[in-house]
Amino acid sequence: KATGKDYGVKEYSFSEYDPNKFSEVTGLTGGSIQEKVWWALRDLGYSEVAVAGAMGNIYHESSGFSASAIEGNGEGNGLCQWSFGRKEQLHNFAASRGKDWTNEDIQIEFLIGELTLGGGADGYATFQFTESYYEKWVNATDIREATEAFCWGFERPDEGAGNDSMETRNEWAKVYYNESITLQEITI
């Protein structure tokens, strides 16, 4: 499903997979939070380049994919350092599900809602990308382009902070992209 390729498999038993690696919230799959974000965004149809750009940003924003990360001034929360109205929406969404805002699956579902035209997350999330940057992110053909588009169009940091951190964001995006290529080589 995530790759869009038909390998001719007609039947498959999932009994070998640990059911604890599947989220009770949205069916997210993966053994780590990074895997959950990667596969959630790939399942939405985003390219590996676009997803890697998002991953580099999320890594930087949350100090290494920490769902409980809190910005130094206390405003930004979680994987994407949601702040102000977006933070309030995240907290309200988590409360509506009887979960804490630090729950990684709640945050991934909220992220999906903010990347979905028309919103999502039971109406708590609204589409957050500026249109021109969304198109740049979705259609990016290189890591730097995807990383910059996600940074400026979705994360929207202070210009100075964004410029100062762009190399770190790009380096981590490359790491996640290269890991995806390695996995493809192993499974094909």
pLDDT at 161: 82
Query: What is the pLDDT, as a whole number, of residue 7?
Result: 64
Q: Residue 160 has what pLDDT?
A: 83
Say what the pLDDT of residue 16 is: 54
Percent helix, strand, coil in the chain (nearest 5)? 55, 5, 40
| pTM exceeding the 0.85 threshold for the entire prediction | no
Q: Distance of CA 62 to CAs 2, 31, 166, Å? A: 25, 18, 14
Quick one: pLDDT at residue 187?
44
Report mean pLDDT in 10-residue bins for the chain, 188 residues.
Answer: 61 53 56 93 95 98 96 94 97 97 97 93 93 95 97 92 91 94 52
The H or E element spanning position 91 is helix 85-96
